[in-house]
Structure 1
Amino acid sequence: MQSASEQPLVRLQGVRFAYGERAILDGVDLSVRRGQVVAIMGGSGCGKTTLLRLIGGQLRAAAGQVEVDGQELGALGTHDLYALRRRMGMLFQFGALFTDMSVFENVAFPLREHTDLPESMLRDLVLMKLNAVGLRGAAELATSELSGGMARRVALARAIALDPMLIMYDEPFAGLDPISLGVIGQLIRRLNDALGASTVMVTHDVHESLEIVDYVYFVSDGKIVAEGTPEEIRASSDAFVHQFINAEADGPVPFHYPAPAFGDSLLRGSAT
């Protein structure tokens, strides 16, 4: 029998989810060990962000189990679910900073919401988090004064404000220049290791992700179609993985939307 420290921090078993009649996830099995950085990759609309929302408890699975730190999310009441979510950090796509707050107040926000720390201790903690992402000197700036890369780093400092056991990222590299992208990638790895946390990262950026993650899951049509370490993914002969990591236009994900033969469409004189 596994000890608590050996059990996965996150485990999904046979998870199904749908919006109405539209199936999004169909029988997903996935696990994240303690200390791991795990990437979830796949095409747009395949269910990656839905997986993050299920792990974070914003959504409930229609079938199967979603466990975080040994707790089945579907069995938790509101109070217990919120208590568990306070131990998670989330970096939203493009940062999602509060535009009417300074950098300092953005990072202080979760500390003010969830703790009763004295102002002097709160100040020290905020500056520590900003220092960890290289932006202690930007504490009093307005969010409108930040570059895209700086805003993403502030959002990262906010995500780790409460020293979470689990950090989730939704497209952390989107819209960044190569230098900022590299900085964010290294921060994700370093902060995960320094906090002793686990990380789940939804991303399209193959190159940067394979440099920092421990394991990768590929999602297509609501299922896990491939998984492995970065070395296994690079060496994979799976057609979908090969198309994805090499950015090929055609393959298991076709270039052409389904249509009748082109010659037949021309002869019929129709738009399809």
Structure 2
Amino acid sequence: MAIESPELPPLVSLRGVRFAYGEREVLRGIDLSVHRGQVVAIMGGSGCGKTTLLRLIGGQLKATGGTVEVAGHDLAALGNADLYALRRRMGMLFQFGALFTDMSVFDNVAFPLREHTDLPAGMVRDLVLMKLQAVGLRGAAALMPSELSGGMARRVALARAVALDPMLILYDEPFAGLDPISLGIIGQLIRRLNDALGASSVMVTHDVHESLGIVDYVYFVSEGRIVARGTPDEIRASTDPFVHQFVNAEADGPVPFHYPAPAIAEQLGGGVG
């Protein structure tokens, strides 16, 4: 795990970041850093703002307040052309892969190369085959997405995400819907490709066990705030009630099992209302 010195400026830096959809505030003062070479996980319950954070880092959304910097650039200060140029240095693995269903495996991986470079067809072919080789699917180049298993489709999507050798790779629930074998393969590929490319990775995930085995640092989000952070060992040893409940998948804790309601004795026999 080749990680730069923490004394150097981080590749990704969020400071006091707030974001709202209209009147609904989703993020409330987020501070977060990702250094070069790191794989960082963002965890938390559904609806806590994890994917919104990923979209802010990727430039799809602009913060309501605070600053989002990537590679020293304040995203809010960039014009469209500069923002798009910066985003070409990022890769994205969407939830469930999001392959183009009418394109072959080969053409899916070739798409960013054809869209963003003027490389000759022979070089595009070689690069695509190399990326597919890296995820173990060179032999599946001619298949269509409908012919792939869920795990295979996720690996093709990963090959596409790293087609341009990005400096930053963003993952939105990369383990969702995978069987244990496919999940383990994707986890190891995320770590291996990050290190081979000298990239940084930010991963939104609910999968505690697999994530803690491959990441360098974890941020826990709850109600729009960072409520805990640390290395995998620190997270496993944490006595923080929220972290303990999340890591151990407990039904009751700071995140309650029961939706707020009157005492059951007040409603039994008298109807609901």
Q: Deviation at 1:167?
A: 0.2
Task: Among all aligned residue pairs of Structure 1 and Structure 2, give the percentage whose two residues are the same amino acid.
Answer: 82
Query: Could you tell me which residue of structure 2 aligns to residue 31 of structure 1?
Result: 33
CA RMSD in angstroms comes to: 1.4
The Cα shift of 1:141 comes to: 0.6
1:97–1:216 CA distance, 2 compared to 1 (3 A)? same
Distance in 1 separating the partners of 2:272 and 2:67: 46
Aligned residues: 270
Find the aligned partners of 1:124 and 1:5 in 2 and give their Cα distance.
Answer: 38
Match for 2:119: what amino acid? L
Match of residue 44 from structure 2: 42
Partner of 1:58: 60
Give 1:264 shift: 1.7
Given that residues 6 and 35 in structure 2 are in contact (C-alpha distance below 8 angstroms), is that contact kept between their aligned partners in structure 1? no
Q: 1:117 aligns with which of 116, 119, 122?
A: 119
Give the 4+ runs in structure 1 shifted more than 4 A.
none
- Which residue does 2:16 correspond to in 1? 14
Structure 2 unaligned residues grouped into runs of 5+: none
State whether residues 13 and 33 of structure 2, in contact with CA within 8 Å, keep that contact through their aligned partners in structure 1. yes
SS in 2 for 1:74: helix
1:4-49 Cα deviation digits (max 9, x unpaired): 9921000000000010111100000000000000000000000000
Look up the SS of the partner of 1:150 in the other structure: helix
What's the TM-score once normalised by structure 1's chain length?
0.97
Question: Is contact 1:8-1:33 (8 Å) kept?
Answer: yes
For residues 143-186 of structure 1, give each alpha carbon's deviation from its aligned partner in whole angstroms, at most 9, with x where no partner exists: 11100000000000000000000000000000000000000000
Q: CA deviation at 1:123?
A: 0.3
State the partner residue of 1:187. 189
Where 1:155 maps in the other structure, the secondary structure is helix
Counterpart of 1:151 in 2: which secondary structure?
helix
Unaligned runs of 5+ in 1: none
Cα distance in 2 between the residues matched to 1:112 and 1:263: 65
> How far apart in 1 are the matches of 2:88 and 2:163?
11
- Shift in Å, 1:270: 4.0
Give the drift of 1:261.
1.4
Cα distance in 2 for residues equivalent to 1:156 and 1:72: 27
Cα distance, 1:46–1:4 mapped onto 2, change above 3 Å: closer
Is the 1:91–1:159 Cα contact (8 Å) retained in structure 2?
Answer: yes
Is the 1:173–1:181 Cα contact (8 Å) retained in structure 2?
yes
Cross-structure match for 1:257? 259
1:236 corresponding residue in structure 2:
238
The AA in structure 2 aligned to 1:12 is L
Task: Supply the distance in 1 between the matched residues of 2:195 and 2:61 (Cα, whole angstroms).
Answer: 28
In structure 2, C-alpha distance between the alignment counterparts of 1:126 and 1:148, rounded to whole Å: 20
Rounded Cα–Cα distance in structure 2 between residues aligned with 1:4 and 1:214: 13
Amino acid at match of 2:89: R
State the Cα deviation string for residues 164-212 of structure 1 (Å, max 9, x = none). 0000000000000000000000000000000000000000000000000
**Candidates 161, 169, 173, aligned match of 2:171:** 169
